[in-house]
């Protein structure tokens, strides 16, 4: 029907065929992202370092034949891993709370 077509044409010019350009963000490299995440939640890298340190010391003790020290270090490693996991979860909760505000 011609009246329907006339009403549609009266709505203004047709939309552009090409989409509007999206904003361009600078690419964040691995080092930059690592530093930003470390600043946001410094407990996670600290927990990772503790875990690796305790694991290394436990493996050295095991190789030297000091089984008591090795067992103690493996238990300490589990505690360090638990601390790291809790720090990671805590950081995620804090980030989620910030993004809600």
Residues 6+ apart with CB under 8 A from 1: none
pTM above 0.75, yes or no: no
Is residue 88, in this structure, part of any structural domain at all? yes
- Which two structure tokens, joined as six digits, stand for 99? 């993004």
Is residue 39, in this structure, part of any structural domain at all? no
Is residue 85, in this structure, part of any structural domain at all? yes
> Residue 90: what pLDDT?
94
Range of the domain at 78: 70-100
Is residue 62, in this structure, part of any structural domain at all? no
Tell me, letter by letter, the H, E, C secondary structure of 2-59: HHHHHHHHCCCCCCCCCCCCCCCCCCCCHHHHHHHHHHHCCHHHHHHHHHHHHHHHHH
Indicate the pLDDT class of residue 14, thresholds 50, 70 and 90.
low
The answer on pLDDT for 8 being more than 60 is no
pLDDT by residue (tens digit) across 57-82?
999 999 999 999 999 999 999 999 99
> Residue 100: what pLDDT?
82
**Which of 5-9, 35-39, 63-67, 69-73 has the lowest average pLDDT?**
5-9
């Amino acid at each position: 029907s011609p009246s329907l077509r006339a009403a549609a044409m009266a709505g203004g010019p047709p939309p552009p065929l090409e989409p509007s350009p999206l904003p361009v963000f600078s690419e964040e490299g691995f080092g930059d992202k690592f530093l930003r995440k470390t600043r946001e939640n410094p407990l996670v890298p600290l927990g990772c370092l503790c875990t690796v340190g305790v694991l290394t010391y436990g493996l050295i003790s095991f190789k030297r034949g000091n089984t008591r020290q090795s067992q103690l270090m493996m238990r300490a490693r589990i505690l360090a891993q638990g601390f790291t996991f809790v720090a990671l979860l805590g950081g995620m909760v804090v980030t989620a709370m910030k993004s809600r505000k």
